[in-house]
Structure 1
Amino acid sequence: MKRRIFLTGTAATAASATAAWYYGGTQRAAAATGDPLTFPRDSCTTETRTVTTADGTDKTVTYRFWENVVYVADPVDPAHQCLNVQEPIEIDGRAVDASHAPVFFSIPLGGFLSGTPTGGTNPGGGFPGPTPTATPTAGGPLPPGAGDQGDNSALALAAGYIVVTSGARGRENVKDGTYYGKAPAALVDLKAALRYVHRNRGVLPGNPDRIITNGGSAGGNFSSMMGASVGSPLFDPYLREIGAAEASDAVFASAVFCPIIDLGNADKAYEWMFGSAELDGELVDRAASKELAAQFAEYQAALGLHGVGRFGRVTAANYDRYLLENYVRPAATSHLRALPEADRTAYLAANPFIEWSGDQASFSWDGYIAHIGRSRPVPAFDDKALSEPEPGYFGDETHNARHFTDFGLRYATGDRTARVDGDIPHKVMLTNPMTYLQQRNPRRARHWWLRIGTSDTTHSLTAITNLALKTQNLGDDVNLKMYWDGGHGANEDPGDLIRWMGDITGYTAG
């Protein structure tokens, strides 16, 4: 039986000792060294599991397993500020030395909610799972993976990678009426976990110079943040407060699925894309939608992003064409080509907005938007009722949810001069990967795996595409693909992710 001790302060003098008892032998071993930030190398179990790989092959993996290792010296909540480590030692009966393998850093968090490394908001220890058949609550938790084929962390383990799965605090965490997991708590925790991995180089198995983060939805926000904000001093005060290791938080690559990012501009982007679409059979407030879409045009122009090839600058006026030509139509074409002829004929008959000619799919932007519809109100993120996940993310110790844009606050109150609370702009800036990419952060990750479904209506496609455009413009290695008719959480080519990781790291299990 694990003894549960809950900490509400970040400066408790007995924090490391209570964290040690919380997890029994594993964390006691760390405490025995006199340093709560030393990885308990000798306190592990040996486990075996069968992983079904992307090609349908079953692999039997034997691995060392460290569970619920607290990664900070002064935890606020050790139930969430902990990580698991898996080190493969045998794959299909063949011994594997993964002591210097790349580290697959899994972020099993959704909806900006808290999570543990063994469950949390997206159980299964890895994101994402197989393509959902329907989009869940906008920005909320994703359906758990149904089997290992879609579980990226399981596939990484079967490929011989070290798998680190990190928990973190979240927006719903509350104790005695005080909320302690609001922004930027989850990001701070995840950075602390990265620091812990770096600090324990040579003790915790794996090569910290080759960390690949992985997350989707809110976890996609966090994965992109881990890659974009490496080395930012803006997080240092928060990290000191929880006793994070004095070490690097560098990552080598970031795998990002359907990210809920750029929240300060998310309402604008959503109306640019979905302003003409109906919600529950009706159009949303047209005046508000048009005002936000006009603000997106200004924002996009200020980014100054250039498209791939000879496309030139990507603006609100030509973004639909850029998406259609480079991602959306190619996704439809690939999907339709892969169907048996009878199924393709039936699909086209059911979707007459698609023209199929010369083995290519063609359709208009308006036809595509009518096909997918919209799933959020206006404003889509900073909503009037404060019922979406994002206002909850930007709550504070005494407020469960707060408006985080002036537009959202003014729309809700009718006061055209209202302004958000004074701490909000800093937190919105702090939690946006574009902040650090616009500053050309030289310490950022240089490899990006970006995926989203074309029927994912939780965010505008411009959010992930701007992330791709900016990193491409900076000269990074960027692999962006969209899945036709894929919903929120789609992951249709997990085998390609594993091959990509091998290509960029040069690693094969030996």
Structure 2
Amino acid sequence: MKRRQMVKALAGTAALPAVVGAAGGARAAGSGAASTSTGAVSAATRTKGSDPLAFDPANYTTLTTTVATSDGDKAVTYRFFKAVTYVADPVDVTYQSLNVSVPVEIDGKAVDASHAPIVFSNAVGGYMPSSTAGNTGIGQGVNAKLSLASGFVVVDPGARGRTLVDTAGVYYGVAPAAIVDLKAAIRYLRHNKGRVPGDTDRIVATGVSAGGALTSLLGASGDSDRYAPYLQELGAADASDAVFAAAPYCPITDLEHADMAYEWNWGTNPLPTGAQVDQTLSKELRSGFAEYQASLNLRGKNGFGRITARNYDAYMVKTHLEPSATRYLGALPDADRAAYLTANPWITWSGGRASFGWGDFLTHVGARKKNVPSFDTFTLAAPENNLFGVATTKARHFTQWSLRKATGDDGARLDADLPEKIDLMNPMYFIEHQNPGRSRHWFIRVGTKDSDTSLTVVGNLTAGLENLGDDVDTYMYWDGGHGANQDAPDFITWIRSVSGYAK
């Protein structure tokens, strides 16, 4: 396969770093159970003057799979379009490609998905690179599989990530590469309206952890012109990158405030060893969170008023945690509920409702997962430090607090390029600026025992969107950990409801 080196500026411009990438060549067909390759037309056979971003509707492999659903196992036959490059001038096609899965038969009944919602399911974790090139069929978790079995089109996008480095030592997947790539993939789908199966005006983005953060960002930043130089650099399609709806799970986001938020939430919880973190540092960060939270000027639902660091515990308990415990306990058989309440006497169960205090909840959660600071670590060892690397520098501080603590220089300032990149990676920036291209429909999930980040990340994301009048369905899974997904069928029901697609 032909290979070339793309030459780009390494710093000080909007250009993304370079890496040797593959370009050209026919698409490789997938493989799977009872597969039959169809469609002889490939990208390599198109005429020189043809659209380089035209989707080839004939280049697919037919696959079958069995999906476990709440209604029993379903046999699904689908068309699998493998490793389709979504930009005209890719840095690395291994990551800048997507797969498309289109159901054509479910339990022996023909399915027409030409106008079905498109579930855009990214598999990014830890802001690491994500490739679909090795996939031989749909395989992005329960939501994607249930979507396929529900008659929806599923798109699995790849994206560059923070650890990618070329032969010159340049990190070419650091911020904002991942979100730029996912936006380019959305633009590719929109550009191919009428060619790619599914309704490109009903794209539903979803992802977990860092993938949930990127999903939040896709939903909040739709059509923002702040990404334009990066997208143009890749030869992304001249189309909308707004998504209709967003379903982030346990998003690791609002990174420049994440250390503050973490200490507000988990600051007094012990480490797994039983030891306390440095409480002087923890209290400093908690103080910073109070200032940040006040600056958001968010108002709680049901007449709660402004959400501040002083009352956030009460708001979290009333709005998210008690409803979560109530739903969990209410669904248990009587004997199991009684046993759970006996083991957890700090919960009061009365009139079919759970009630408790914030302090008891924190004790119930137990050990915190991360030390202090949790995200912008003094040693530059956290994934997020790598995320904000640049050129041949692997990792950098992205908060002034950690930079000054680590260097001992009270006058130290962040590198000049960082403020823009930090904004481009944070959905709260676009929510605060009321971005008109944002999604209006949201399905947000996190576990109550998820101490990978603060629960206020989901709390603020939810409140910010609700304050703008958006349709937000947020739920915290009781006793759920990081990456929990306890109501996958509800995700499908939600898509049908917000999209109006009833088939």
TM-score, normalisation: structure 2 = 0.91
- Which of 101, 126, 137 is the aligned partner of 2:140? 126
Q: Does the 8 Å CA contact 1:410/1:417 hold for their aligned counterparts?
A: yes
Task: State the alpha-carbon separation in 1 of the partners of residues 429 and 392 from structure 2.
Answer: 27
Flag the 1:64–1:383 CA change in 2: closer, same or farther, 3 A.
same
User: Could you say which residue in structure 2 is the equivalent of 1:160?
Assistant: 151
- Which of 382, 392, 406 is the aligned partner of 1:388? 382
Structure with higher RCO (Cα < 8 A, 6+ apart):
1
Structure 2 residue identity aligned to 1:498: I
Flag the 1:119–1:380 CA change in 2: closer, same or farther, 3 A.
farther
The answer to whether 1:210 aligns with 2:226 is: no
Q: How many residues align?
A: 479
The answer to whether 1:497 aligns with 2:488 is: no
- Which of 111, 129, 148 is the aligned partner of 2:126? 111
State the shift of 1:412 in Å.
1.9
State the shift of 1:31 in Å.
4.1
Flag the 1:343–1:461 CA change in 2: closer, same or farther, 3 A.
same
User: Could you say which residue in structure 2 is the equivalent of 1:404?
Assistant: 398
Structure 2 residue identity aligned to 1:20: G
User: Structure 1 unaligned runs (5+)?
Assistant: 128-150
State the shift of 1:411 in Å.
2.1
- Which of 363, 380, 398 is the aligned partner of 1:370? 363
Q: Does the 8 Å CA contact 2:4/2:21 hold for their aligned counterparts?
A: no
The answer to whether 1:439 aligns with 2:433 is: yes
User: Could you say which residue in structure 2 is the equivalent of 1:130?
Assistant: none
Flag the 1:56–1:263 CA change in 2: closer, same or farther, 3 A.
same
Q: Deviations over 1:90-129 (max 9, x none)?
A: 1111111111111111111110000112669xx97335xx
The answer to whether 1:269 aligns with 2:261 is: yes
Flag the 1:22–1:298 CA change in 2: closer, same or farther, 3 A.
farther
Flag the 1:420–1:508 CA change in 2: closer, same or farther, 3 A.
same
Structure 1 residue identity aligned to 2:339: A
Secondary structure of 1:160's match? coil
User: Could you say which residue in structure 1 is the equivalent of 2:34?
Assistant: none
Task: State the alpha-carbon separation in 2 of the partners of residues 281 and 336 from structure 1.
Answer: 29
Flag the 1:104–1:388 CA change in 2: closer, same or farther, 3 A.
same
Task: State the alpha-carbon separation in 1 of the partners of residues 499 and 342 from structure 2.
Answer: 45
User: Could you say which residue in structure 2 is the equivalent of 1:354?
Assistant: 347
User: Could you say which residue in structure 2 is the equivalent of 1:239?
Assistant: 231
Q: Does the 8 Å CA contact 1:108/1:117 hold for their aligned counterparts?
A: no
1:396-475 matched pairs, under 5 angstroms: 396-475=390-469
- Which of 16, 22, 25 is the aligned partner of 1:21? 25
Moved more, 357-366 or 154-163: 357-366
Q: Does the 8 Å CA contact 1:16/1:73 hold for their aligned counterparts?
A: no
User: Could you say which residue in structure 1 is the equivalent of 2:500?
Assistant: 506
Fraction of identical pairs, as percent: 51
User: Could you say which residue in structure 1 is the equivalent of 2:67?
Assistant: 51
Task: State the alpha-carbon separation in 2 of the partners of residues 443 and 239 from structure 1.
Answer: 17
State the shift of 1:23 in Å.
3.7
State the shift of 1:5 in Å.
4.7
Q: Does the 8 Å CA contact 2:188/2:237 hold for their aligned counterparts?
A: yes
Task: State the alpha-carbon separation in 1 of the partners of residues 475 and 201 from structure 2.
Answer: 26
Q: Does the 8 Å CA contact 2:403/2:413 hold for their aligned counterparts?
A: yes
Task: State the alpha-carbon separation in 1 of the partners of residues 2 and 107 from structure 2.
Answer: 37
Moved more, 492-501 or 418-427: 418-427
1:320-359 matched pairs, under 5 angstroms: 320-359=313-352
TM-score, normalisation: structure 1 = 0.90
Flag the 1:124–1:319 CA change in 2: closer, same or farther, 3 A.
farther
Flag the 1:169–1:17 CA change in 2: closer, same or farther, 3 A.
closer
Q: Does the 8 Å CA contact 1:108/1:125 hold for their aligned counterparts?
A: no
Task: State the alpha-carbon separation in 2 of the partners of residues 226 and 27 from structure 1.
Answer: 34
Flag the 1:394–1:17 CA change in 2: closer, same or farther, 3 A.
closer
Task: State the alpha-carbon separation in 2 of the partners of residues 234 and 257 from structure 1.
Answer: 25
Structure 1 residue identity aligned to 2:473: N
Flag the 1:213–1:6 CA change in 2: closer, same or farther, 3 A.
farther
Task: State the alpha-carbon separation in 1 of the partners of residues 113 and 348 from structure 2.
Answer: 50
Task: State the alpha-carbon separation in 2 of the partners of residues 69 and 454 from structure 1.
Answer: 38
Q: CA RMSD in A?
A: 2.3
Task: State the alpha-carbon separation in 1 of the partners of residues 110 and 502 from structure 2.
Answer: 13
Secondary structure of 1:449's match? strand
State the shift of 1:4 in Å.
8.4
State the shift of 1:361 in Å.
2.2
User: Could you say which residue in structure 2 is the equivalent of 1:83?
Assistant: 98
State the shift of 1:505 in Å.
0.8
User: Could you say which residue in structure 2 is the equivalent of 1:291?
Assistant: 284
Task: State the alpha-carbon separation in 1 of the partners of residues 320 and 200 from structure 2.
Answer: 33
Q: Deviations over 1:263-284 (max 9, x none)?
A: 1111111111111111121111
State the shift of 1:345 in Å.
3.2
The answer to whether 1:73 aligns with 2:77 is: no
Moved more, 322-331 or 485-494: 322-331
Task: State the alpha-carbon separation in 1 of the partners of residues 252 and 290 from structure 2.
Answer: 20
Q: Does the 8 Å CA contact 2:88/2:236 hold for their aligned counterparts?
A: yes
